[in-house]
Amino acid sequence: MTDKQPARPRALLFDLDGTLVDTAPDLARATNALRAHHGLPALPYETIRAQVSNGGSALVTLALGLERDHAQHDSARSFLLDYYGQDVAAESRMFEGLAPLIDAWSVSPRAWGIVTNKPRLYAAPLIESLGLAPGAFLCADDLPVKKPDPKPLWEAARRIGVTAEECWYIGDHRRDIEAAHAAGMTAVAVGYGYLDEEEDIHAWDADHVFDTPAALAEALGY
């Protein structure tokens, strides 16, 4: 954790994959299904996990070496996402230690929400399967823009009736911190998410950094 003393917010806004929910097992399963479809052996789980927050296109590039401008990239991405969409919550779970925090923050006057770059087609059944009921839930296709643009964060704050300054936005990717700063929210980085080995989370200029879900919960008094 950073040495800054956190001031407790009025509302919490979370990124989804790698921050609130560990979706890597299901996305790794889909990534290796794509490789198997092309006659390739499975990749190690940790290799795939490090790329999950970069989205489906990054997983296609990892799996097959096809960059976004490759003629076969889009069809490979469709295969991966179709496979993933068959069961988005087979193995995905909230990160250990966050359920009590969410339960506490669901009681008025506190509020919480999710702002994700995951399409609603996959994000909605995921949170439904996990029994999550955020006060605001913004997905990649809900607005004309997505993170790191601050507008989805502002809209989430509006829906739960708080100002941007009263929110923590919590994420495991540099774009999450950029979005939080642009929105005027407290930017919180978590080190338990899907980080590449070469990524230095402390270089993101977050207001707070927490290495574990327990450290995040403790800072908020839970």
DSSP 171-201: ESSHHHHHHHHHHTPEEEEETTS---TT--G
Predicted confidence pLDDT, tens digits, the chain (222 residues): 444 556 789 999 999 999 999 999 999 999 999 999 999 999 999 999 999 988 899 999 999 999 999 999 999 999 999 999 999 999 999 999 999 999 999 988 889 999 999 999 999 999 999 999 999 999 999 999 999 999 999 999 999 999 999 999 999 999 999 999 999 999 999 999 998 878 899 999 999 999 999 999 999 988
Q: Are strands 111-115 and 208-210 parallel, antiparallel or unpaired?
A: unpaired
Task: Kindly state the greatest CA–CA separation across the chain.
Answer: 54
**Domain ranges (residues) in the chain:** 11-23+92-219, 24-85
Give the C-alpha separation, 144 to 151, whole Å.
Answer: 9
Whether 17 is catalytic is yes
Handedness of CA 138, 219, 212, 195 (dihedral sign): positive
Measure the CA–CA gap between 5 and 127, rounded to whole angstroms.
31
According to CATH, the topology of domain 11-23+92-219 is: Rossmann fold (3.40.50)
Q: Which residues contact 9 (CB under 8 A, 6 or more apart)?
A: 166, 167, 168, 186
- Determine the pLDDT at residue 143: 98
Residue 222: predicted pLDDT: 84
Query: Which two three-digit tokens encode residue 130?
Result: 């996990």
Catalytic residue among 17, 22, 26, 207: 17
Active-site choice (15, 22, 26, 172): 15
Is-catalytic flag, 26?
A: no
Round to whole Å and give the CA distance between 191 and 113. 20
Which amino acid belongs to residue 166? Answer: E
Whole-number pLDDT of residue 1: 45
